[in-house]
Structure formats: C-alpha cells, structure tokens
Structure 1
Amino acid sequence: MEATSAALSAVSLANIGILCVLIAVYARMRMATRARLPLGMTVVCSLLLLHNAIGALAYFSMEELFSHAVFPYMLGVGIAELAGLAILLRLALE
C-alpha cells in the first residue's frame, strides 16, 4: 500500500472513531432530553460514518483503480473533515 493511500485510510479510520463517539453522545442526549436536534445529529453522523467506512474500504481494496494524482486532494478533504469532527466532538462533550 502506498503511503498516501495508507494516510487516507488512517484519516478515514480516525473519522470513524470520532463519529462513533459522536453517535453515542447524541444518542445519550436524545434519550435524556427527547429533543429532535440530537436525533438529527445522530442521523447525520451515521451517514458520515457510512461514507467514511465505504471510503476506507475503497482505499484498501481498490487502490489501483484511483489516479494517484488525486490522492493528495482527497487527503486534504479527509483532514479537513477530521478537523471539523474534532471540533464538533469537543463542543458536544462540553
């Protein structure tokens, strides 16, 4: 596996970890408050989790089908998503 592909996979796996924690936090909020916003956030995080799981699988199994010139851009998007999710997690845990 090429270094860029491994980095993409690592970023996707980190995103998956943060999303799992966010889903648990929002589900707990939903049970405690019965508010609709945590329910919506749980759904959004679940869809992002699905997106990252499919992406990580694609990086592992279909590396030869991707153009290697596009990997740095995909890595930038993944890192930006990771930063956003980390900020969201910090806010959710306050």
Structure 2
Amino acid sequence: LGSLARVEGEKIAEIRIAAGSVAPTPIRLRRTEGLLTGARLTPETIEKARASAHDEVSPIDDLRGSAAYRRAVIGDLVARAIREAGGL
C-alpha cells in the first residue's frame, strides 16, 4: 500500500491511496479516496474507509495468500495509513 495525505486540522484535505497484490495490476482506491476527502479524522471515518477498501479490491487466491486474507489486510493497512497521516 502506498498513500499520500494532506491533513488540515481534523480534516483530510486530500488523499491518494494505491494498492498492489489486490488486482491484476496496482490500483488506486478512488472510491475510498472520495469517501475520505474532506472527512473528519474520527474512528467512524477510519472504519468506513477500512470497509470501503475491503470492498473495492478484487484479489485472487494464490500461494502467497487467500483473497479473503488480502481483503482483510488492505483494510487494516488503509486504516493504519489514515491514523498515521492524522497523527492518531
């Protein structure tokens, strides 16, 4: 996961999120970005972003991990990135 965020006060002014190993090629999580842009940094916002990222990806099962595992991990990584960007 790669992310870049600009936080102003308690709001996410701008955010970009890219993920690998969850689609045939690396992808931007645009729906999750849209959900977060302009949102306040709250536990509820972070949980919504986690769920959005989980639903936005379409990984496959392979030797390195199941699709379910990859979905869970991407949600956790997005939540961590948001917390770190906001200093939470």
For this structure pair, what is the TM-score category when the shorter chain's length is used for normalisation?
A: 0.3 to 0.5
Higher strand share: 2
The higher relative CO (CA closer than 8 Å, separation ≥ 6) is in 1
TM-score between the two structures when normalised by the length of structure 1: 0.34
Q: Which has the larger radius of gyration?
A: 1
Higher helix share: 1
TM-score between the two structures when normalised by the length of structure 2: 0.36
